[in-house]
Each structure stands twice: as C-alpha cells, then as structure tokens.
Amino acid sequence: MTLDETIQAVKQALEAAPERKFTERVDIAFNLKNIDMSQPANRVDEEIILPNGLGKSIKIAVFAKGDTAQRATKAGAEMILDPEEIENLGDDKSKARELANDIDFFVSDVAYMPTIAKSLGPVLGPRGKMPEPLTPDKNIEDVIKKAKNSIRVRSKDKLTFHLPVGRRDMDAEELAQNVQSVIDRIEHNLEKGKQNIKSVYVKTTMGPAVKVM
C-alpha cells in the first residue's frame, strides 16, 4: 500500500460524505485477525505522534507547582492543576468525570503520580487518560509539544477499534500521511505484522467507510 493509494482512499471518503453544519472528524477503523485479544500482551496500547496533528486544539492539563507550572503554561497547557487538590477532586466524582471528559491529555510531576492513581485512577484509567509522568529526564515543553500532535490507541480486548486521524477540513494528503503513520506503527507492533490486519477503513464522522487496505 503506497501513500498515493492512501490519498485516493481518503479523497474518496471525503467526497462521499455529505456536507454537514459542523466540521466532522476523520477516523480510521482497524479490523484485526488471527490474534488472541484476551491476552493483554496482544492488545494494542500505543501513543502515536501524527505528522500533521489532529487539526484541532488538544487540551492539556498539568499537575504541577512552581517553575514547572509556569513553564507548562508558557508551553501551551490549558490548565494547571494544584497537586494539593488531587484528593478533593477524587472525592468529587462528578467534577472528576467532567474534567476527564474535557481534557485530552494529562501530565503530572512524577511525585504526584501515586496520589493521582489512588484518587483519580478509577476515572482517568478507563478513559486511557492517566497522566504522563514528568520524570527528571523529561522537558515539560517537549512533553506538551508531543502531546498536541499525538493520539492514544487502545484496542482493549476487541479485534475491531477506531481512532481519529484528523478533521475533514484538513488537506487529503495530510490526512493520508496521518493514516499511513498509524497503520505503520500498529503493523510494526502486531505479532505477525500485516498478517494480523484483516482490513482498515477511513471515514468521516457520519460518512460512509472506504477501504484503505
């Protein structure tokens, strides 16, 4: 499968989708085969950087104080969360769920990860939004930059799963490059590579699916 073939599939999906009053998301759907997804080791759980981003603003929240909090704000974090409020937030499940649904990506100073796991793990964990630990070897600016252009792929125990690769108002070639990056990464991490992929489709939120491979 070449990039040109992927571009043609993306163009077909965009052209086949009726115009909507909102900007639709563009997704790809994977159907795997010949793999036992009941075994956690076989499941897909990857963070993938998209070469052209998602075409929208990614909301990032950082659990930090002091200099790290200031640098995170300058780097583009939408929200700084006071670590002293973690337990209170965990006690208010409604507020915690609202936060989890509103924020796309969390980062936390590594020192606060045990408290977050205990207080917010039940809310963030199932959504695949546990914070990325900010260890001493990581730069908060680099972490935020990466987060704004990455997606989390989690198949859980399903052979079929889908994920966003951009928005309909993006260029077809940019979308195709994102699609290709995701396929290459997932194929690389499957036990038998391409042989474990039954099919891949691309579609807008409400449009028809077009086969990529």
pLDDT tens track for 127-162:
889 999 999 999 999 999 888 888 888 898 999 999
Which of 207, 205, 209, 202 has the alpha carbon at shortest distance from 1? 202
**Predicted pLDDT of residue 23:** 87
What is the pTM for the complete model shown? 0.72
CATH code at 60-147: 3.40.50.790
The CATH fold assigned to 3-54+150-211 is Ribulose 1,5 Bisphosphate Carboxylase/Oxygenase (3.30.190)
Q: Domains of the chain: which residue ranges?
A: 3-54+150-211, 60-147
> Is a pLDDT exceeding 90 seen at residue 33?
yes
| Mean pLDDT across 82-91 | 92
Interatomic CA distance for residues 175 and 143, integer angstroms: 23
- Phi and psi at residue 87, to the nearest 5°: -65, -40
Per-residue pLDDT band for 209 (boundaries 50, 70, 90) equals: very high
